[in-house]
Amino acid sequence: MKKNISLTRYLVEQQRVDGLIPGQLRLLLEVVARACKRISFAVNKGELGDVMGTAGSENVQGEVQKKLDIIANETLIEANEWGGHLAAMASEEMEGIYVVPNRYPQGEYLLMFDPLDGSSNIDINMSIGTIFSVLKKPEGHPGVHESDFFQPGTQQVAAGYCIYGPQTTLVLTVGDGVSMFTLDREQGSFVLIEENVKIPEDTKEFAINMSNMRHWDEPVKRYVDECLAGEEGPRGKNFNMRWVAAMVADVHRILCRGGVFMYPWDKREPQKAGKLRLMYEANPMSWLVEQAGGMATNGRQRIMDIQPTQLHERVSVVLGSKNEVERVTRYHLEAD
Ligand code: AHG
Ligand code: MN
Ligand code: MN
Ligand code: MN
C-alpha cells in the first residue's frame, strides 16, 4: 500500500503536477467521494436502518425502486447541487436532467450517475456500488439542455465507481490511469491503495448471466460455448465463470485480476440494444477498463465512440481483458 496518501492529497498532486484536474473538477470529485461515503454508511446499516426493501415506486426504466436507490440518488443530488461546480445532473433514478437550482452558482460540469448499482443484491447483503461519469457542459449557450449530455464517452473528463463490499473502495480515472482508494472508517477518508491499475490482456474467467443463453445472438453463443469446451475445445484451456449481478463488482474483479464481462443484446427485448445504460454504466466503466489497458465494445464498435441520442440509452456490453474482448468482437463482425 502507498504511504498514507489520502484522496485529497492525491487529487491536489494530480492538479498541481499534471494540471489534469482543474480546481472545480477536484472539488467535484471530492464531493462525489464524500457522498459515496455517506451512501456506504447507509448501506452498512442494513436492517438496522430504514434502508432495505422496496420503496414501492418505479423508475423511468420500469424497475421497482429500492429504498437505497432513492437514498443514494438523493444523497448525490444534495451533496452536489450547492457547490458551484455543476450545471446539471442525470441519474438512472430520474427521468430528465436535474438542473442546479438558481439559488446556487452554476458550474461547468455535468454529472451522471447510477446511484445504486446492483440493486438486486441489496437485500441479500452482497456487493453493490455507485457509478459516476463527468462531462463538461458545451459552451456557447446559456442554461443546460438534456442534449448537452449527449456526448460520446470519449468526452468524459472523469469517471469512477465506489464499491460497497467488504471494503468501501473508490476507483477513479481522469485520463491518467486508474487509481483505487479504500475508505478508512476510523479516519473517515479514502486512502490510496493502488495506482496505474492494469488488466491482464488474457484471462481464463468470463462473466455473463448464463440463464439468458437461449436468448443470445450466435457470436456470443459461439464464444461462451468455446469457453465451456475447456482444454479439449478450440481454446485449449479451461475457463472459470463468475456473475455477481452487480456491474461494479464484476468490473472491480476484472480490474483486480482480469476477465471478460458481457451483458449482450438478447432477443427478450430485441428493440433495446441491451440491458445496461450507456451514459452512467457502460461509458464510465469502459473508460476505466481502457485506462487499465483493457477494451470495451458493444460487440461491434468501441463503446466510447457511440454518439448518444437519449439519456437512458441502452447498450450491449463486452469489456475486460483485451484479447478476449477482441475475440468476441471479431466473432460478431464475422457473423455480420
Ligand atoms: P442496477 O441495479 O443499477 O439497475 O444495475 C443492475 C445491472 C448491473 O449492475 C448488473 O450487471 C446487471 O444489472 C445484472 O443483471 P441480471 O440481474 O439480469 O443478471
Ligand atoms: Mn436499476
Ligand atoms: Mn446499474
Ligand atoms: Mn442502479
Please give the full DSSP string across 53-96, using - where no structure is assigned: SEEEEE-TTSPEEEHHHHHHHHHHHHHHSSSSSEEEEEETT-SS
For residue 334, give the C-alpha cell.
464475422
Ligand nearest to the CA of 248: 1
Instruction: Please give the backbone phi and psi of residue 51, each rounded to the nearest 5 degrees, phi first.
Output: -120, -5
Kindly report the protein residue whose alpha carbon is nearest to atom 12 of ligand 1: 245
336 contacts 328 by C-beta, under 8 angstroms:
no
Question: Are β-strands 128-136 and 109-117 bridged in parallel, bridged antiparallel, or unpaired?
Answer: antiparallel
Burial 3-31 (b: 16+ CB within 10 A, else e): eebebeebbeebbeeeeebeeebbbbbbb
| 92 CB near ligand 1 (under 6 Å) | yes
**87 in ligand 1 pocket by Cβ < 6 Å?**
no
Q: Write the Ramachandran bin of 177: left for phi over 0, alpha for psi from -120 to 50, otherwise beta.
A: left
Measured in angstroms, how far is the CA atom of residue 119 from the centroid of ligand 3? 8
Residue indicated by cell numbers 489520502: 6
**Residue among 249, 315, 253 at smallest CA distance from 280:** 315
Residue nearest to atom 16 of ligand 1 (CA): 245
**Which protein residue's CA is at the shortest distance from atom 19 of ligand 1?**
245
Q: Is 122 in the pocket of ligand 1 (CB under 6 A)?
A: no
ipTM of predicted assembly, 2 dp: 0.99
Q: Which three cell numbers stand for residue 320?
A: 475486460
Q: Which residues pair with 191 in a beta bridge?
A: 6, 182
Strand ranges in 154-307 using DSSP code E only, listed in sequence order: 158-164, 168-173, 178-184, 189-194, 205-207, 240-241, 260-263, 276-277, 295-297
3-state secondary structure (DSSP) of residue 218: helix
Calculated CA dihedral for residues 205, 211, 216, 220, nearest 10 degrees: 10
Q: Taking the complete model, does pTM exceed 0.95, yes or no?
A: yes
Q: Is 120 annotated as a binding residue?
A: yes
Q: How far from 279 is each of 90, 97, 186, 246, 276, CA to CA, in Å?
A: 9, 12, 34, 17, 9
* Ligand (nearest to CA of 120): 1
Among candidate residues 212, 323, 199, 202, the one with its CA nearest the CA of residue 264: 212
Nearest one of 35, 23, 19 to 72, comparing CA atoms = 35
Of ligand 1's listed atoms, the one at least distance from the Cα of 276 is 7
Say how far apart CA 286 and CA 278 lie, in whole Å.
10
Question: How many whole angstroms from 185 Cα to the centroid of ligand 2?
Answer: 27
pLDDT tens for the chain, 336 residues long, are 557 999 999 999 888 777 789 999 999 999 999 999 999 999 999 999 999 999 999 999 999 999 999 999 999 999 999 999 999 999 999 999 999 999 999 999 999 999 999 999 999 999 999 999 999 999 999 899 999 999 999 999 999 999 999 999 999 999 999 999 999 999 999 999 999 999 999 999 999 999 999 999 999 999 999 999 999 999 999 999 999 999 999 999 999 999 999 999 999 999 999 999 999 999 999 999 999 999 999 999 999 999 999 999 999 999 999 999 999 999 999 999
Contact 312, 92 (CB under 8 A): yes
